[in-house]
Amino acid sequence: MSKDEIAHLNESSEMDDPVHQFILGATYYNGIVGEPDYKEAVKWFRLSAEQGYVMGQFFLGLCYLDGTGVEKSKPKGVEWMRKAAEQGDAQAQFNLALSYEKGEGVKKDMKEAAKWYRMAAEQDDAHAQYGLGHCYYWGEGLRACKKKAVEWWQKSAEQGLYQAQYFLAMCYYHGDGVKMDKKEAVKWYRKAAEQGDADAQFELAQCYDNGKGVSEDRKEAVEWYRKAAEKKHANAQYCLAVCYYCGDGVARNLKKAFEWCQKSAEQGLSQAQYFLAMCYYHGDGVKMDKTEAVKWYRKAAEQGKVDAQFELAQCYNEGVGVRENKKAAAEWYSKAAEQGHRDAQFYLGVCYSEGLGVKKDKKKAFEWWQKAAEQGLSDAQFNLGACYKSGKGVKKDYAQAVKWYRLVAEQGDPTAQYILGNCYFYGEGVEEDEAEVLKWLRKAAKQGHAGAQYNLGICYEFGYGVRKSRKTAVEWYRKAAEQGEEKAQERLEENGK
């Protein structure tokens, strides 16, 4: 616009033409001639607005809301937005709705927000359609209806608003307000992702990674993780780190895995903090540093990451990367155990059994071992069998002892197999059974258990459940004696060997 044209606008404006006043204000606002002059823009917007011109009212409201060319005043901004909105301007209706939603310049009122969102949405304002969709989805300002939320998000998404495209994709993915359709979800994730939305890029990567709605393609997943990661998306940075660590979709590179994991961890993602700690602990992609490992275990643990709580407890228990502290170890074992971490439950049981960092309590030891045992941890199952056999922490019950020893024995533990064989020999918790004695002693003996080898030698020497065989007895005695079993050595001497 030339200076002559501006002069002409000034002449028209002085004759109180609100349209020309607005255009002149917009000229100053946008710096069409020279640098923007927001104060001058506000002057002309006000003259236009006071004559009732809707665009003048809208832009004057915008200036007050943003503090552009005038002292910021949310209430005055809302006042002018309302005037424009009441004249039917969709942008003003949207901004007024936003003010009611945020409680800026006016008391927060979601019913009013929904009302103005609807007015603008019905005029095809994409942002208002998106906002109205949120009101329906969360039931804010009107009765929740996910189906209607999807309908409004669909309208907005089709106009290209990436935020609506993302939420529409989420609805299709989870079947929220619409029939579940992973392929349709991928379609909308892709549209939003291609506009640069990091959340959509991450979700699209997840779809490729897991083969949901699209053929599994780890290489493509890595590319979308990378796009989101470069926008500082913490979960994408973490997933990209995992890809580099495992060589999944990209050449394995522990250094890059560490670098991306560090970026994510520094944003506070507990999974990444735990992973970073593991890298420092084992020296994966970075120089081994147990102290630094403890630092990151602690950060993740304090956020409730159960694996980190357990590893931090282990560090305190063993004095690795931090001064040994049995009390602190027991505290972190307890936090992890209460979240159901079976290894932590087992070690907490050990703490109570031995009085490490806590007051010795055999009953509590039994209770924590029971929790871990019920989750299938063989060490805990073994200890539970021992508790029932000895009556420590629980009433003695040989049948229960046999039950738990059997579970461990069936997993191939030679000591449990040896004890179970003895239970059958002495009839403790089970009827005496020569065949079962031999079965379990043989399993344990073949795995090198000295006690089982000795007892199996006894069986062969005296014909217990098997034909006597001095030669076979001596073979088993010798195996046991070589491991330091004194009784086996005595039997060899008795047999002249």
Please, what is the average pLDDT of the chain?
95
**Cα–Cα distance, 39 to 16 (Å, whole number):** 19
pLDDT at res. 495 = 80
The share of the chain scoring above pLDDT 70, in percent, equals 97
pLDDT(268) > 90: yes
pTM: 0.88
pLDDT(14) > 90: no
| Across 270-274, average pLDDT | 98
Long-range contacts of 14-19 (CB under 8 A, 24+ apart): 16/47, 16/51, 18/47, 18/48, 18/51, 18/52, 18/53, 18/56, 19/48, 19/53
pLDDT(257) > 90: yes
Cβ distance 34 to 13 under 8 Å?
no
- Supply the DSSP string of 352-414, one letter for each residue: HHHTSSS---HHHHHHHHHHHHHTT-HHHHHHHHHHHHHTSSS---HHHHHHHHHHHHTTT-H
pLDDT(403) > 60: yes
Domain ranges for the chain, please list them.
304-394
| Across 346-352, average pLDDT | 98
pLDDT band with cut points at 50, 70 and 90 for residue 110: very high
**Cα–Cα distance, 154 to 358 (Å, whole number):** 59
Length of the chain in residues, anyone? 497
Domain 304-394 indexed as CATH 1.25.40.10: yes
**Cα–Cα distance, 351 to 336 (Å, whole number):** 14
**Cα–Cα distance, 58 to 44 (Å, whole number):** 13
pLDDT at res. 99 = 97
Cβ distance 333 to 348 under 8 Å?
yes
In 3D space, the residue among 84, 86, 83, 115 whose CA is nearest the CA of residue 98 turns out to be 115
Cβ distance 24 to 9 under 8 Å?
yes
End-to-end CA distance of the chain: 116
pLDDT band with cut points at 50, 70 and 90 for residue 325: very high
pLDDT(4) > 80: no
**Residue type for 14, please?**
E
Residue corresponding to tokens 């349709």: 184
